[in-house]
Every structure is written in structure tokens, then in C-alpha cells.
Amino acid sequence: MTDAPVLIATEGATLIITINRPAARNAIDRATTLAIAEAIDTLETDDRLRVGILTGAGDHFCAGMDLKAFLKGERVEIEGRGLAGLTERPPRKPLIAAVEGYALAGGFEIALACDMTVASQTAMFGIPEVRRGLIAGSGGLLRLPQRIPRQIALEYALTGNLMDAATAHRWGLINRLTERGGALDAARALAAEVTANAPLAVVATKQIMASAHNWPAQDVWPRQNAILEAVIASDDATEGARAFAEKRKPDWSGR
């Protein structure tokens, strides 16, 4: 197997990004951050790609920032983009985390920056940074209380305790829970359900759901309607209606 820190594979309209540092539990150093950022850029700019899957090689998703790299003075974040070039600026297109084993600290924050998570029963999540004299500064303290009740998020953030997959699924942090070794295949299946739909409509739907909570109340409907009008005016909207009337699968153009 290549010793590249990140592996890239294209399967139809899905880009699979694999963090490839299994000996380090896929911890993120500078080279890994840059490679993930480059892969995310490919997802964003290649019109043939509609969904990304982010996973880890070996038995774990990601154990967070590489502390050895941190001690050497490596900057493992990218200015304006965050850890893995992702946590501060997620892609416009949907991104699915496929989690086996540990998703801890920055690894959990990377998963939280994804739009959906598929995980096996082996998965363990947590933001234990307080145990190392740090804080979860790559979005964990921002996103976790948006996803689960604030009191529960506070407990995990302040104690550094880990959350098993069954608990994460119960709190709604996991979309689909699988047997051990099944997370990536289940993520592929979920991606296929997304890529069957109109690309413009998918991106616009994510844009609204990701952004609307930050819009001023008086702007919510005008901003949504502006996005909606662009989608309605697209060739894909016409194709979707025509395909429905003709009882066939639509042939999306992405325009």
C-alpha cells in the first residue's frame, strides 16, 4: 500500500477520501491536512463528482491532531479552513463520514464537519482535549451542542469521556449504524441515494440547511426563495418534471 497520507478513489459520482496513517490511528499532521484539503478541492471543482466520503485506513477513523507533530511545531490547520482543511469551511457538496474505531478530538470534529455519519458498532467518539490541557477548537464546542442537547454536550466536553456508537446513534449523531467493518459500504449506499438526485438541488438544499440558522429573521424567506428560484429555473428542474411525466429516470445535467 502507498505511504501517501491520504488516498483518493472515484466511484461513479462519489469521491472516497481515506486518511492513510493507520500506524498513527490516522492522526492529522500537516501533510495530511494539506492532502485532505486538496481532495476536498477536487470534490468541489469536478462537476462529475456529487458526494464525498471521508474515512480512515485500518481500524480507526481518526485520533485527532498528531501530538508529535504539534510538539515539533507543525501547523496542522489551514488558515481560514481549519483542521484537515475542512472544519472551518466544509464543502458545498455533501460529505459523509464513514467511521470505524476511534473518532476522537479533532477526529470527532472532522466527523462533525461532515453532513452525515455512518459508523460501525466499534466506533467511539469524544472530545477529550481538556485532559491534555487543550480545548476542542476545531468546531467540536460549536457543533456538538447544535446536534445533541446542550447539557449532554457539556458533559462530554467537560469530562472528556468517550461516547460509544450505540449512544451516538441514540442521540442522532449517526445516520446509519453497521456491523464492524461495514461503515464504508453503508456510506457508499447512502452516497448512491444522494447522487441519484439532481446535483443543483442537492447543493442548494445543503446550502439552505447549513446556513439558514445564521440568517437574520427578516431575511430567511427572501434568501431561501432566491436560492429556490435559481433551482426552479434550471434545466434539471425541467428534466425532473419531464421524467416524472414520462415515467422514467431523470438524466441530470447539473445545469
Q: Is 11 labeled as catalytic in the residue annotation?
A: no
Q: Which three cell numbers stand for residue 205?
A: 438544499
Q: How far apart are CA 246 and CA 255, in angstroms?
A: 20
Which 8-state DSSP code applies to residue 201?
A: H
Exactly one of 38, 129, 229, 239 is catalytic; name it. 129
Q: Is 129 labeled as catalytic in the residue annotation?
A: yes
Q: Which of 155, 147, 145 is nearest to 171 (CA)?
A: 147
Exactly one of 79, 88, 100, 109 is catalytic; name it. 109
Q: How far apart are CA 38 and CA 52, in angstroms?
A: 13
Measuring CA to CA, how many Å separate 33 from each of 75, 137, 147, 227? 9, 16, 25, 32
Q: Which of 132, 20, 125 is nearest to 71 (CA)?
A: 132
Q: How far apart are CA 249 and CA 206, in angstroms?
A: 23
State residue 192 phi and psi, 5-degree precision. -65, -35
Catalytic residues: 109, 129
